[in-house]
Structure 1
Amino acid sequence: MSKNASAQLNTGGNVSVSYDDGVYFDVAPIIGYKIEDLKLNLGLSPIFSYKKPLSSTQTILSGGGRIFGQFYFLENAFLHGEFQTLNTQTSSTNADGSKNINRVWTAGLPVGAGYEYRISDKARFQASVLYDILQDKSAPNRMPVVRGGIVYDL
């Protein structure tokens, strides 16, 4: 990076929603670092998710984290990629009909595109659509997600 490169620490949060065999919802505070000269925003985020499958009365709560990168190919449009891992609940049925409930770590690689709208000098709204290309069979969600949130430049 050159001596004159400008960078900006940012924070905020976002929510993601999806619907496959039930409702999926996650919330994630973020901390990021935007490098203007390279048109990049890099960051990390804890994730807390909720899923209510249609086929069950049980809810699935998961927690984990993600690291992400955004490349701005136009002034307000970006490509988004991330690696995420979630500790989530899985269940299996024994031969006698009883259920085993376990917790496992899942991995995801959501990618997609988004758009941001500047709200003020320091705040912007971001919206994106992401698809997990790894499709971990134990992940709480395997459908594309719609994500929206606020990013605040510090």
Structure 2
Amino acid sequence: MKKIILIIALSFFYSVSFAQVEGVEVEKPKEEEPVVIEGDKESEDDEEEEKMRFIDRLFFGGNFGASFGNQTFIDVSPMVGYRITPRFSAGVGITYQYQRINDRFGNLLGKQSIYGGRVFSRYNIANDFLGVGNLFAHTEYETLFAKYSINNFNGTAEGTELFPAFFIGGGFAFPIGNRSAFTISALYNPFYDEFNSLYTSPLQIRIGGFF
């Protein structure tokens, strides 16, 4: 049955991600001016960040997309995160996706609703790493439920299945302004099971952003 489910499994998956664009605290010599390391901001920036109000530490993002035709796909997956320190952040997100596949005559072959949530954490390793972008490490635990309905010669098969997943990896964030960034990451599931997953590979390349 899971082989059949994979026919209407996720055709793509975007995960909104985030990165810190603040500087790294730099130790000051006793009788000299503050030292600034190229690619970082002065230590006062970190002190200012640590004094930020709760609302200013929050950031938002998500996946919102749709395509229609013989293969219909709708994705509504908002998220919210919190900057715990200038380098470390954590957050939660929810996912709802709807998929429907018709044949060329418009007859329904199958449909699937996917819903669930995830928790994640992100650590900013280095700003402006090798002149490419801010390098970060990422971990994430995700739990998705897939409620499917498939039409075949024997009638209609229906059911709901649970698909947990754990991802580790990292990527780069490319700042766009003071609070926003475009991100690209590579995440790997070390516990991947092709017979119990909505993904066709343990390696996932994700593109996202936050504001």
Normalization by structure 1: what TM-score? 0.71
Shift of 1:118: 0.8
- The structure with the greater share of residues assigned to strand is 1
Alignment counterpart, residue 33 of structure 1, candidates 67, 82, 91 = 82
Q: Secondary structure at the match of 1:58?
A: strand
Counterparts of 1:113 and 1:51 in 2: how far apart (Å)? 29
1:45–1:64 distance in 2 versus 1, CA, 3 Å: same
Instruction: Find out whether 1:126 has 2:175 as its counterpart.
Output: no
Between the aligned residues of both structures, percent identity stands at: 25
Please, which moves more after superposition, 126-135 or 104-113? 126-135
Question: Could you tell me which amino acid in structure 1 is paired with residue 94 of structure 2?
Answer: P
Q: Give 1:9's match in structure 2, choosing from 42, 48, 58.
A: 58
Query: In the alignment, which of 47, 65, 90 is matched to residue 117 of structure 2?
Result: 65
More relative contact order, 1 or 2 (CA 8 Å, 6+ apart)? 1
User: Separation in 2 of the partners of 1:88 and 1:71?
Assistant: 31
User: Whose Rg is larger?
Assistant: 2
Query: Which 4+ stretches in 1 moved above 3 angstroms?
Result: 24-27, 49-53, 89-92, 96-100
CA distance in 1, matches of 2:76, 2:207: 10
Flag the structure with higher helix content.
2
- Unaligned runs of at least 5 residues, structure 1: 16-23
Q: In 1, distance between residues paired with 2:209 and 2:159?
A: 34
- The structure 2 residue matched to 1:82, chosen from 140, 143, 157, is 140
Between Structure 1 and Structure 2, how many residues are aligned? 142
For 1:135-150, list aligned pairs within 5 A: 135-136=192-193, 137-143=195-201, 144-150=203-209
Contact persistence 1:60–1:140 (CA under 8 A) = no
Match of 1:44 among 62, 85, 92: 92
Which structure 2 residues correspond to residues 98-117 of structure 1 after superposition, within 5 A? Answer: 100-117=157-174
